Structure 1
Amino acid sequence: MRVSPLLLAALLSACDPTPSVPQDHPSPEPFQPMQVQAAVDVAPAPGFADQTGGGIFATAEGNVIRLRLDGTKAALESHPGNTVTPGRARAVFRMGPDSALVEADNGLFLAQSGWLIAPPWREVLSTGLAATAATPDGAVWLGHASGLYRLQDGALSALKVNGQALEGITTLASAPAEDGSQGLWFLRQETLSVAVRTAPGTWQVRQVTSLPLKEGERVVGLAGLGASEKGKGEAWVLTSERLMRRAADGWRQVALARKPEQLLAAGRFIWVKVDGKLLSHDAEAGTWGEASGVDTREFRFLAADESGCAWVQLGADTVALTRGPIPRVLGLLEGSQVVEDALVVRSRVVPGVAPLSFVYEVAGVEVPVRGPDYSLGGSEADGTPKPYSFVGLEPGLHTLSAVARYADGTEARRSVSFDYQPLSTVALGWDKDIRPIHEARCAKCHDSGPARPLSTYTLWKDNAELIIAAVKDQRMPADGPLDPQLISLIQRWAATGANP
């Protein structure tokens, strides 16, 4: 008896205990990526890609280096205040949008602003770092051989379940949990779990049981897609057989022509290595692309940044791949919370042919600017960039796009999502807003240490100008620069009356 293909499919489906999963069917468009080769040999180890261009990597010789947008080497030195030198570098991990964590023979070091800094909490953790991820509340999570740790405002704490450390974590990703709450996804001993924020400083660990895996199918990779004005964040899961994502309506399979092998994400971009092909997904535009002319026979992802750039190893070469001459935005970072009414925002174009014109787009307004600084707010007579006022924006999520237009009719666009929450609408106080910064980053030297006493509200108020100058110039804290948002918080507290 002959059975029709449709009937056979229906019979097989009825026998398959795996629930059906809605599918996305990408149609990748070929693109010729720009390729910038690193001028030094980079080790096959995780690295950090900076969305303003370049990145930080370990070399084959065990050194840690900082690379520029054009692939050349930039300055990166051990801070003079360090009591120990890093030693041989093993790997580099993302800490924040403009900082990285270097694992070396002598422990963990923070790489920021051209310095390798030994943070005070480094003594808690030895080598054994596997992954890092940053959540929207400003915390950085460290997946370490000894457990899962949360770093916020300079303080390190361990997340445990029933008093037991979460050892064996291999991958971390920041993305909303299945109920939409803030979540940290992690892979541990081939089990997928998510830590859910239930209250400030309180997290609950849940095993993900809704993922519709087939018999014998395993989770092997994990990535987080960032949120923006156009879409929510998502968790993407690479299994031993396919690629899946957690959308607003549940799990969906990304139906690719061939089996996916590697997965990497940053911001609103996803990169997937698929059996001889390299695919890129721009979630903001809702498009897929397939990189042409890239030999992926000996291929490894090293790092990706929020501009859509991926640093990869192609055989013995380390190469930065982008969809085109994407401008890099300076002064505004992807996913950041903007608390100031005005910012100096500039752009850096890819070396080579200058654009015919350059504009910014924000809140439906197009602002034309000129080079070489491409300053959103224009420039003073002496060339100093002016700040651009965000006062007219409603609080909430927004997108700033930097658009370079070329003589051949093409354009290159960099879109940066940010959350505008002006502090002028929030009452600031020393005890509520500034004391936590002091206790986490300043008290070690300024309470009982050798530095100027700053242990009380009165001392902070009397020395506000000196404090602001020191943190803006990155002379303080001694163990490394403050996050820009914390600097802004101190400035706004002082400017609005330095309330107790």
Structure 2
Amino acid sequence: MARFIPSSLLLCAALLVAACGEDAPPGSDPAKPAAFTATQVPSSQGLAPARGFADQSGGGIFATTTGGVVRLRLDGSKAALSPHPKNVATLGSVLATFRLGPHSALVETDTGLFLANQGWLIEPLWQQVLGTGIVATAQTADGAAWLAHPTGLFQIQGGTLASLKLSGQALSGITTMTAAPAEDGLPGLWFARQGKINVVVASAPGVYQVRGTDAPLTGGETVEALAGLGAGTGTAGEVWVLTSTRVLRRNAEGWTTVELPSRPQQLMAAGRFLWARSDTKLFVFDADAGTWGVAEGLPSGTPTLLAVDESGCAWVELNGQSLAVSKGAVPRVQGLHQGMLLVDDGLVLRATLPPGSTPKSVAFQVDQSEEVPAAGPDYSMGGLEADATTLKAFSFASVPPGSHTLSVVSRFEDGTEARRAVPFTYQPLTTTPSYARDIRPIHEARCAKCHTDSTNPGRPLNTYELWKANAQLINAAVRDVRMPADGPLDPQGTALINRWVSSGTLP
């Protein structure tokens, strides 16, 4: 089987240079962190102080101290993760893992790159295009995954690896990267290169502009890290910059300098939460609440941030031990991820609780509607079917199309509570898809290379009957952005599969 797919060229407009902004310095925003006793979940597996991937539904994928890779659950225990038997390349010593989607990661080893999906480490068809040295990854609002590599900036869209070039030249030398809105509000990909901060925006399908930004960097000030906060309900995302002298924040109101008690050495963000590590201190910013916290009660020593997730949890390495650190026992939502496009009027949703105290009650809520109580141990929003074992779908039929927030809150006997809020968009389709017209083209374009027959890595899915028989598995995989293995589907493709399954899998 051929394992090399040449990278294709993406058209790009000229670089637009913005003013540096020194004549209008940003305002100051003093952070006032409130101390909190950190909730800690230790893992028995020692993790290397290398970048990792944290899954918003709990756990994550990390490099181990012995050069291996491990998939951890919410309680710190190990879950299945093995090289796929159809891989050609041998899994080497693991260097780091990077986020590609809500539930998928890119694992970098000294022998090449592998995608972590559904307990398998899968060799992508474009594996040999890129060598080791991944600098950063990000996923923009259009569903595209981006990879910054010493040789250039690459995009995974439609299962194809493409190189973004400027005036025919590769965008090499990127040092950090994140997804966040551009200054005009368009979905953007921010990156630092050659002492400047630039942002990529799509000016047309498949055509991108590389713009300068109005980042107020002073002479000699260098960029060390970029971090992007996602959009909330009615609130745009934003970009944060860690420089050699300070922390900068840009939201819809413009740039501000954030004054923490001391300058951080690390900055990471996911969803609406941002974590900063300054010497031995861990700070967390909740963008929805607009508040800062500083973790107390951690073991002595200097922690290293490995990854953060959308629930507000940070994974750290500290004195050879790995810890998941959060402000409280925040429940996780299974079946809905941050920013998800929901097209079904019914969805199976449940809460997973972290180890620790059992809550007095658990309830779901859509926006400000009446709370829906959920009973343990399943904590299903829709309850159970008549057989008392099968989780029942919750109906969104009364929810109007548009942006919404699903919250799940755990309340405890001492009067405290822990809440997880998941912004999503509800856009029910008005047509009924069919396999022949809508699903088969998706299979041929994105699935056939791995799901044709028994010689391929995935299970055979080359007929309508096989798609129908595996409809629920397929639907869950694409909805959670675990499949296709070579990169996520565009939102329209995901919506078509979701609707096809929910409307009766018509031929």
> Cα offset for 1:383?
1.8
For residue 492 of structure 1, the aligned residue among 499, 504, 507 is 499
* Corresponding residue number in structure 2 for 1:349: 353
* Corresponding residue number in structure 2 for 1:28: 33
Q: What is the letter of the counterpart of residue 250 of structure 2? A: R
| Greater RCO (CA < 8 Å, at least 6 residues apart) | 2
Q: Find out whether 1:417 has 2:420 as its counterpart.
A: no
* Corresponding residue number in structure 2 for 1:193: 198
Q: Find out whether 1:40 has 2:51 as its counterpart.
A: no
Q: Distance in 2 between matches of 1:327 and 1:369?
A: 12
- 1:71-98 deviations in Å (ceiling 9; x for gaps): 2222111112222321211110001111
Structure 2 length as normaliser, TM-score?
A: 0.86
Q: What is the letter of the counterpart of residue 151 of structure 2? A: S
Q: Per the alignment, in what secondary structure is the counterpart of residue 175 of structure 1?
A: strand
Q: Is the 8 A contact 2:303 2:317 kept in 1?
A: yes
> Cα offset for 1:298?
2.3
Q: Distance in 2 between matches of 1:470 and 1:259?
A: 46
Q: Is the 8 A contact 1:222 1:236 kept in 2?
A: yes
Range 65-74 or range 252-261, more displaced: 252-261
Task: Summarize the Cα distance change of 1:250–1:432 in structure 2 as closer, same or farther, 3 Å threshold.
Answer: farther
Task: Summarize the Cα distance change of 1:491–1:41 in structure 2 as closer, same or farther, 3 Å threshold.
Answer: closer
For residue 401 of structure 1, the aligned residue among 394, 404, 407 is 407
- 1:102-144 deviations in Å (ceiling 9; x for gaps): 0112211111111111121212222121110001111110111
Gaps of 5+ in 1: 1-15
Q: What is the letter of the counterpart of residue 259 of structure 1? A: R
Larger Rg: 1
For residue 125 of structure 2, the aligned residue among 120, 124, 145 is 120
Q: What is the letter of the counterpart of residue 499 of structure 2? A: R
Range 472-481 or range 114-123, more displaced: 472-481
* Corresponding residue number in structure 2 for 1:468: 471
- 1:28-59 deviations in Å (ceiling 9; x for gaps): 21101111222111111110011111111111
Q: Distance in 2 between matches of 1:163 and 1:498?
A: 45
Q: Is the 8 A contact 1:153 1:441 kept in 2?
A: no
Q: Distance in 1 between matches of 2:266 and 2:488?
A: 34
Range 79-88 or range 482-491, more displaced: 482-491
Higher percent of residues as helix: 1
Gaps of 5+ in 2: 1-20
Q: Distance in 1 between matches of 2:257 and 2:436?
A: 49
Q: Find out whether 1:299 has 2:303 as its counterpart.
A: yes
The percent identity for this pair of structures is 48
Q: Distance in 2 between matches of 1:329 and 1:463?
A: 30
Q: Is the 8 A contact 2:363 2:408 kept in 1?
A: yes
* Corresponding residue number in structure 1 for 2:286: 282
Q: Per the alignment, in what secondary structure is the counterpart of residue 129 of structure 1?
A: coil
Q: Distance in 2 between matches of 1:344 and 1:490?
A: 16
Q: Per the alignment, in what secondary structure is the counterpart of residue 120 of structure 1?
A: coil
| 1:339-488 to 2 correspondences below 5 Å | 339-365=343-369, 366-380=371-385, 381-424=387-430, 435-442=441-448, 446=452, 465-466=468-469, 468=471, 471-472=474-475, 486=493
> Cα offset for 1:195?
0.4
Task: Summarize the Cα distance change of 1:214–1:189 in structure 2 as closer, same or farther, 3 Å threshold.
Answer: closer
- 1:387-425 deviations in Å (ceiling 9; x for gaps): 011121122211111100011111111111111122236
Q: Per the alignment, in what secondary structure is the counterpart of residue 352 of structure 1?
A: coil
> Cα offset for 1:453?
9.9
> Cα offset for 1:26?
2.3
* Corresponding residue number in structure 2 for 1:87: 92
Q: What is the letter of the counterpart of residue 369 of structure 1? A: A
Task: Summarize the Cα distance change of 1:429–1:171 in structure 2 as closer, same or farther, 3 Å threshold.
Answer: farther
Q: Distance in 1 between matches of 2:209 and 2:123?
A: 31
Q: Find out whether 1:240 has 2:244 as its counterpart.
A: yes
Q: How many residues align?
A: 478
Q: Distance in 1 between matches of 2:404 and 2:279?
A: 37
Q: Is the 8 A contact 1:18 1:213 kept in 2?
A: no
Q: Find out whether 1:182 has 2:187 as its counterpart.
A: yes
Q: Per the alignment, in what secondary structure is the counterpart of residue 496 of structure 2?
A: helix
* Corresponding residue number in structure 1 for 2:7: none
* Corresponding residue number in structure 2 for 1:326: 330
Q: Is the 8 A contact 2:143 2:489 kept in 1?
A: no
Range 290-299 or range 62-71, more displaced: 290-299
Q: Distance in 1 between matches of 2:259 and 2:461?
A: 61
> Cα offset for 1:293?
2.6
Q: What is the letter of the counterpart of residue 313 of structure 1? A: E
Task: Summarize the Cα distance change of 1:414–1:408 in structure 2 as closer, same or farther, 3 Å threshold.
Answer: same
Task: Summarize the Cα distance change of 1:73–1:493 in structure 2 as closer, same or farther, 3 Å threshold.
Answer: closer
* Corresponding residue number in structure 1 for 2:105: 100
Structure 1 length as normaliser, TM-score?
A: 0.88
Range 292-301 or range 68-77, more displaced: 292-301
- 1:326-345 deviations in Å (ceiling 9; x for gaps): 11111111111112111100
* Corresponding residue number in structure 2 for 1:10: none
Q: Distance in 1 between matches of 2:450 and 2:76?
A: 39
Task: Summarize the Cα distance change of 1:372–1:496 in structure 2 as closer, same or farther, 3 Å threshold.
Answer: closer
> Cα offset for 1:434?
5.5
Task: Summarize the Cα distance change of 1:431–1:132 in structure 2 as closer, same or farther, 3 Å threshold.
Answer: farther
> Cα offset for 1:247?
1.4
Q: What is the letter of the counterpart of residue 174 of structure 1? A: A
Q: What is the letter of the counterpart of residue 115 of structure 1? A: W
Q: What is the letter of the counterpart of residue 468 of structure 1? A: A
* Corresponding residue number in structure 2 for 1:169: 174
Q: What is the letter of the counterpart of residue 239 of structure 2? A: A
Q: Distance in 1 between matches of 2:285 and 2:484?
A: 41
Q: Is the 8 A contact 1:434 1:490 kept in 2?
A: no
| 1:247-266 to 2 correspondences below 5 Å | 247-266=251-270
Range 156-165 or range 488-497, more displaced: 488-497
